[in-house]
A and B are shown apart, each in its own frame.
Chain A
Amino acid sequence: MKYETVIGLEVHVELASKSKLFCSCTTEFGGEPNSHCCPVCTGMPGTLPVFNRKVLEFAVKAGLALGCDITRVFRFDRKNYFYPDLPKAYQISQLYAPVAVNGHTEIKTADGTVKTIRIHEMHMEEDAGKIIHSPDGKTAFLDYNRCGVPLVEIVTEPDFRNAEEVNAFLYRLRSVFKYLGISDCKMEEGSMRADVNLSVRPEGSEEFGTRTEMKNINSFRAIERAIAYESARQIKVVENGGTIIQETRRWDNASGRSYAMRSKEEAKDYRYFPEPDLPAFHISDDEIKRCKDLIPEFAEERAERLVREMSLPEEDAALITASRNLADLFEDTVKICGAPAEVRFWFTGGLLSFINETGRDPEDIALSPEKFAEFAGLVVSGELKREAGKKVFRALLESDGELDLRKFIKENGLETLDDGELIAETVRKVIAENPKPYEQYRNGETKVFGFFVGRVMKELKGRADPAAVNSTVRNILGNSLEKHL
Chain B
Amino acid sequence: MTALETGRLIRSGKLSVTEAVSTALEAAERENGRINAFITICREKALMRAADVQKRIDDGTLTSPLAGVPVAVKDNICTDGIRTTCASKMLENFVPFYSASAVEKLERAGAVIIGKLNMDEFAMGSLSETSYFGPVHNPLDAERSAGGSSGGCAAAVAAGIIPAALGSDTGGSVRQPSAYCGVTGFKPTYGAVSRYGLIAYASSFDQIGPVCRTAADCAAVTDAVCGADESDSTSRNMFSSSLLSGLTGDVKGLRIGVLKESLDAGMTEAGTAQKVLEAAKELEKAGAQVKEVSFPYLKQAFSAYYTIAMAEASSNLARFDGIKYGFRAENFEDLNDLYCRSRSEGFGTEVKKRILLGTTILSGGYYDEYYLKAMKIREAVRRELDRIFTGTDLLLTPTAPGTAPLIGSGASDPVSVYCSDVFTIFANLAGLPSVSFPCGTDENGMPVGAQFTGRAADDGLVLNAAHAFQIRTDWHMLGSSLSAYRDSVTVQSHVPAGGKLPDEKRTLGKWGEESYEIRNSDRP
Contacts and interface: CB of A to CB of B under 8 A. Distances in A.
B91 A45 contact: yes
A269 B203 CA distance: 22
Classify the interface of chain A: helix, strand, loop or mixed. loop
B323 A50 contact: no
Contacts of A46: 76-78, 84, 96, 98, 100, 196-200
A271 B319 CA distance: 15
A273 B374 CA distance: 13
Given A88-B318, A271-B315, A44 B96 contact: yes
A83 B50 CA distance: 44
B274 interface: no
A49 B200 CA distance: 13
Interface string A72-89: 000000101010100111
A80 to B, nearest CB: 5
Interface in B306-336: 311-312, 314-315, 318-321, 323-325, 335
B94 interface: yes
Given A42-B324, A47-B196, A271-B359, A90 B315 contact: yes
B242 interface: no
Contacts of A271: 314-315, 359, 362-364, 367
Nearest to B202: A276
Contacts of A89: 315, 318-319, 321
Interface in B76-113: 76-78, 84, 86, 91, 94, 96-98, 100
Interface stretch (B55-63, B135-143, B228-236): B228-236
Contacts of B320: 45
A44 B362 contact: no
Contact of B363 (A43, A78, A82, A269): A269
A51 B76 CA distance: 24
Contacts of B2: none
Nearest to A23: B231
A45 B339 CA distance: 17
A47 B233 CA distance: 11
A273 B199 CA distance: 19
Nearest to B366: A271
Given A39-B97, A42-B324, A80-B318, A48 B231 contact: yes
A277 interface: yes
Contact of A47 (B197, B202, B230, B371): B197
A39 B199 CA distance: 13
Contacts of A278: 233-234
Contact of B233 (A43, A50, A142, A269): A50
Contacts of A48: 195-196, 231-234
Interface string B276-316: 00000000000000000000000000000000000110110
A61 to B, nearest CB: 23
Contact of A277 (B84, B91, B234): B234
Interface in B361-417: 362-364, 367, 371
B204 interface: yes
Contacts of A82: 318, 321, 339
A279 interface: yes
Residue from A44, A88, A90, A271 having most chain B Cβ neighbours under 10 A: A271
Contacts of B200: 45-46, 277
Nearest to A49: B233
A257 to B, nearest CB: 25
Contact of B315 (A42, A47, A80): A80
A101 to B, nearest CB: 21
Contact of A269 (B311, B312, B364): B364
Interface in A248-282: 269, 271-273, 276-279
Contacts of A273: 311-312, 315, 362, 367, 371
A47 B362 CA distance: 23
Nearest to B99: A46
Interface in A20-57: 39-40, 42-51
A43 B319 contact: yes
A276 B233 CA distance: 10
Contacts of B199: 45-46
A229 B98 CA distance: 51
Contacts of B97: 39
B233 A277 contact: yes
Contacts of A47: 98, 196-197, 231
A105 B314 CA distance: 40
Contacts of A49: 233
A378 B27 CA distance: 89
A269 B315 CA distance: 13
A450 to B, nearest CB: 72
A51 B362 contact: no
A45 B77 CA distance: 9
Interface in A277-326: 277-279
Interface in A98-120: none
Contacts of A43: 319, 324
A141 B91 CA distance: 22
B323 A277 contact: no
A77 to B, nearest CB: 10
A276 B204 contact: yes
Contacts of A269: 363-364
A47 B98 CA distance: 9
Contacts of B234: 48, 277-279
B364 A51 contact: no
A370 B476 CA distance: 79
Contacts of B233: 48-51, 277-279
B230 A50 contact: yes
Given A39-B98, A273-B367, A279-B233, A45 B319 contact: yes
A144 to B, nearest CB: 9
Contact of B78 (A40, A42, A45, A84): A45
Interface in B486-524: none
A45 B323 contact: no
Contacts of A50: 230-233
B93 to A, nearest CB: 13
Contact of A45 (B84, B315, B364): B84
A27 to B, nearest CB: 19
10 contacts: A45-B86, A46-B78, A46-B199, A48-B234, A80-B315, A271-B363, A271-B364, A273-B312, A276-B203, A279-B233
Interface of B: 76-78, 84, 86, 91, 94, 96-98, 100, 195-200, 202-204, 230-234, 311-312, 314-315, 318-321, 323-325, 335, 339, 359, 362-364, 367, 371
Given A47-B98, A82-B339, 6 more contacts: A39-B96, A39-B98, A43-B319, A271-B359, A273-B362, A277-B233
- The 8 tightest CB contacts between A and B, nearest first, are A89-B318, A271-B362, A276-B203, A276-B204, A46-B197, A45-B199, A46-B199, A46-B78
